[in-house]
Amino acid sequence: MGKFLSFLLKSGTMNLISFFVFSTLLFGTLSREIHPSKKISAHITVMGFVYCDICSNNTFTEHSYFIPDAEVKIDCKFQASSPKTKEVITISVNRTTNRNGLYRLDIPSVDGIACAEAAITSTCEASLLWSSSGSCDVPGYRTTTDQIAIKSKQANLCIYSLNPLNFRPSKIDYSLCGN
């Protein structure tokens, strides 16, 4: 490239306009190589807990416990944006809680969804399907749509934390819970 520029200068054909056109093409090409166009793509995590509401009062008390191996259905709708179209991406999966009663859905990358917009235009809900606890298997809070959307400081990571779901025992133990 240096030889080409020297040739233009020595041949006398180099003028201000050709130099401007040449430099614009050169730096325009380099800048595209250095700064490739960014695709919007979010990493999304949806999570929540399932617990046994021993006293059937919809609160987690000292006698409550998290239920491992409970089945939960997660349904999400994400609004994707692109310059030419609006799309809705739907995801419906079943998840099993871990030993701490936590269910989790990790969506590694969704093109067209940015966390700031996703928090406003997207919804997720979880529904109880089955309890692994024979002594606590009556559904309490069956479905939750209330969520807290958190945008992480890490680039484009969204976390949807859903309110807890619970099962109840078929009979309340009044010695633990009072009247």
Residue in 136, 15, 139 with CA at minimum distance from that of residue 67: 136
Is pTM beyond 0.95? Reply is no
Distance from C-alpha of 89 to C-alpha of 85, rounded to nearest angstrom: 13
Return the pLDDT at 108.
Answer: 76
How many Cα atoms within 13 Å fall on the side-chain side of residue 19? 11
Return the pLDDT at 80.
Answer: 72
Between 12 and 88, residue with greater pLDDT: 88
pLDDT digits (tens, 9 = 90+) for 116-125: 555 556 788 9
